[in-house]
A and B are shown apart, each in its own frame.
Chain A
Amino acid sequence: MDFKRLLSGVLLGLVITPAQATLNVFACEPEWASLVRALVPDADIHTATTAMQDPHYIEARPSLIAAMRRADLAVCTGASLEAGWLPALISRASNQDVQPGKPGLFFAAEQVHLHQPHQHVDRSMGDVHPEGDPHIHLDPQRVPVILNALADRIVDLAPEQTNGIRLRQQQWKVHWHLKTTQWRNTARHLEGMSVGVQHSTFGYLLRWLGIDTAIDLEPKPGLPPSASHLSNVLSDPAIPELALILIATYQDERPAHWLAEKVDLPVEVLPSTVTNDADTDHLAALISHIIGRLEHYRSQRPNESASND
């Protein structure tokens, strides 16, 4: 750690950054705002959504159009996550720099391979994205790939900031690498745990941790939990294996609590993205926080199936 600080201090001293125009960034979700901030701390960033909002359902409202008008760069998830609002924003803002195919529009999902891309999709399957699951931002392996691509993109747009961006990119990666090692250690003891979820919001992280998402409260992806689906879930043989029900802060808590009460399980409501709170104010902190909460339940219910025997 000391070595890292020394190194970064020396490197910082070597970097001479001339006065430059502030980069104006439109971030569709807070996780991408957090990555941009890590690379360009003095960027003027407008974040379109919060952890309290379902990113699938945002309105192309006037304030967002105004923010998109100003942007030099828009950083979004892609893979149709924002299909219901981003195209309308882009069209209404008529910002010639932020258009499909232009360097000013960056899609995180285009930088990595997605889980479960579909050859065939129809709406009877629910809100399934043909490109694959777009909720990539909590994946310890995919986020660094996205960060590298994002750094390349910002360097293209603001070449005068190259030195600072490359330096912070390295720092971020070192920090992320250290964190990943910690998470992997914890994962060893979370492996095999089983949780109930609502939507695939935490899917990439849970898979990386080796945690099984045995139950989904949504009858189909994107449809709100229905009474009939929940009563089917009640008789699901996977229920006794669950350690908890994990939902995101933007989701309705009532279905999870209803089920939890019936089967005597705890409900954990966690932010699915970066917030203003100190313990979840950047992506690594958020992942640590989520893993910490899962660990808490693991130690409470070390092995549910064993106690049933």
Chain B
Amino acid sequence: MTHRYIGASALALALFPLATIQANQANELNPDVSVILDGYYKQNQTALSHRDQGFGLGHTELSLSSPIDDLFEGRLTAVLEDHEGETELELEEAFLQTTGMPYNLSVRGGRFLSQVGYLNSRHLHEDDFVERPAVYRALLGSHYFDDGLRLNLLLPTPFYWQIGAEAFDGGRLSEGDEDIGVYTVNTRVGGDLSRSQSWQAGFSYLNNRQTHSEAHEEHDDHDHKGDHSGHSHGAGYTGENLYITDLVWKWAPGGNNRQQQLTLSGEYLYADNLNEHATSDDVHEGWYASAVYQFAPQWSTGARYGQVELQDAHGDHFHHQELKETDVMLAWSRSHFSTVRLQYTHQEAEGFEQADNTVMLQYVMSFGAHGAHGF
């Protein structure tokens, strides 16, 4: 490494003016900078959506990441979102993670995406559809991130088995006075079935200790919930206990996912103990199943069905709400860094005013460093 560096510098010194060398050396120490541009056109307003009708910007992301030293790495992700003419700047991630812990332990601290479920820990721009499934939008605010601490351990088994626990402030899920409002535990297992097939299954539990105090605040704006267009980033519906199971199966002939890949994924979410007035029958429950087929290096198509049954708190009682959503999409990626997606969404709802069908055209483009994607 050192040898190569000296060699390269000597060569550069011989061939290029000093300014170039300085620029290059600085570059070596600069963090990886990445920008995600996400824009769309949406024909109609839809229920529980974070994207308004018409032209709009989605999740514009600026991310910096770098090793800090030989024991820590860090990442900062700022998200710019536009709501009714106002641009909001929000910190989505600001965390450090250990890289040198023994026994395959890792600790992450700061603000980060919770690892509950399959989709939640992924960045929105990695998704195959314009928006997360309805159940995610309702129960996790599309993606739940918060200030906290995580401990992960990879077990010494021949197959992949990870267990993890997180503690969060909880204020981004529902407001309250607890210092530690949310706890999660999570486990994942996975492996290959053959050269062409691989799978992963997960189970997560999220304990929200602040559901009770929230009920009153919720009451003030419950009339607007049906029209809620996602200005608040917290989850609209919460419960003391949230259980999530997820399963993913991927198939690529010969394991060559560059040419072709089929991905089937699904999750089931269940929340109970909604607040002090809830009976054991008052629960939030939902699931989705998605199939995405990348049939050529630059093309993929997919379909997703999801539904969610919710209990909207009205003082000491609940109103039943239900949303069923079907999406079909076609996406073209010129390169690994650009995607244009056409999607049709069909909604059937009970207790939501804005449920509708819509066509959406979306682009997701990235420039700068492009982070490696997970499974």
What CA separation (Å) do A96 and B160 show in the bound complex? Answer: 17
Query: Is B190 a contact partner of A61 (Cβ separation < 8 A)?
Result: yes
- Which residue on chain B has the smallest CB distance to residue A62? B190
| A61-B258 contact in complex given A94-B104, A94-B154, A123-B367, C-beta closer than 8 Å | no
What CA separation (Å) do A62 and B54 show in the bound complex? Answer: 40
Does chain B have a CB within 8 A of A65? yes
B70 to chain A, nearest CB (A): 6
Query: Is A127 a contact partner of B373 (Cβ separation < 8 A)?
Result: no
B284 to chain A, nearest CB (A): 29
Query: Is A63 a contact partner of B372 (Cβ separation < 8 A)?
Result: no
Given contacts A84-B336, A96-B99, A99-B70, 18 further A-B contacts (CB under 8 A): A52-B256, A57-B336, A59-B250, A59-B257, A59-B374, A61-B198, A61-B250, A62-B198, A63-B190, A65-B160, A83-B370, A88-B371, A88-B373, A89-B372, A91-B97, A101-B1, A224-B296, A250-B256
Residues of B within 8 A of A61 (CB): 190, 192, 198, 200, 250, 375
Query: Is A69 a contact partner of B104 (Cβ separation < 8 A)?
Result: yes
Residues of A within 8 A of B188 (CB): 62
Does chain A have a CB within 8 A of B101? yes
B101 to chain A, nearest CB (A): 6
What CA separation (Å) do A61 and B261 show in the bound complex? Answer: 14
- Which residue on chain B has the smallest CB distance to residue A59? B375
Query: Is A62 a contact partner of B189 (Cβ separation < 8 A)?
Result: yes
A interface bracket (residues with beta carbon within 8 Å of B): 35 or more
Contact residue among B67, B190, B259, B337 (Cβ-Cβ distance under 8 Å from A123): B337
Does chain B have a CB within 8 A of A261? no
Does chain B have a CB within 8 A of A279? no
Contact residue among A63, A93, A127 (Cβ-Cβ distance under 8 Å from B192): A63
B16 to chain A, nearest CB (A): 8
- Which residue on chain A has the smallest CB distance to residue B157? A66
- Which residue on chain B has the smallest CB distance to residue A250? B256
- Which residue on chain A has the smallest CB distance to residue B153? A94
Does chain B have a CB within 8 A of A41? no
Residues of A within 8 A of B255 (CB): 49-50, 52-53
B21 to chain A, nearest CB (A): 11
Cβ < 8 Å to B, chain A residues 70-123: 70, 83-89, 91-96, 99-102, 110, 113, 119, 123
Does chain A have a CB within 8 A of B44? no
Does chain B have a CB within 8 A of A264? no
Does chain A have a CB within 8 A of B191? yes
Interface centre among A49, A66, A101, A110 (most CB of B within 10 A): A66
| A92-B159 contact in complex given A54-B256, A123-B335, C-beta closer than 8 Å | no
What CA separation (Å) do A224 and B157 show in the bound complex? Answer: 39
Number of B residues, CB within 8 Å of A? 57
- Which residue on chain B has the smallest CB distance to residue A63? B192
**21 CB < 8 A contacts A-B:** A52-B195, A53-B258, A54-B259, A59-B198, A61-B190, A62-B188, A65-B160, A83-B372, A84-B336, A84-B372, A85-B372, A92-B154, A94-B99, A94-B105, A96-B104, A100-B67, A101-B1, A102-B70, A126-B335, A127-B335, A250-B256
Residues of A within 8 A of B97 (CB): 91
Query: Is A56 a contact partner of B375 (Cβ separation < 8 A)?
Result: no
Residues of B within 8 A of A (CB): 1, 4, 7, 16, 20, 24, 67, 70, 73, 97-102, 104-106, 152, 154, 156-162, 188-192, 195, 198-200, 250, 254-259, 296-298, 334-337, 367, 370-375
What CA separation (Å) do A167 and B257 show in the bound complex? Answer: 40
Residues of B within 8 A of A86 (CB): 372
Residues of A within 8 A of B375 (CB): 59-62
Residues of B within 8 A of A91 (CB): 73, 97, 99
Contact residue among A63, A84, A92, A126 (Cβ-Cβ distance under 8 Å from B370): A84
Interface centre among B16, B105, B162, B195 (most CB of A within 10 A): B162
- Which residue on chain B has the smallest CB distance to residue A82? B372
Residues of B within 8 A of A123 (CB): 335, 337, 367
What CA separation (Å) do A84 and B259 show in the bound complex? Answer: 16
Residues of A within 8 A of B191 (CB): 62-63, 66
What CA separation (Å) do A86 and B375 show in the bound complex? Answer: 12
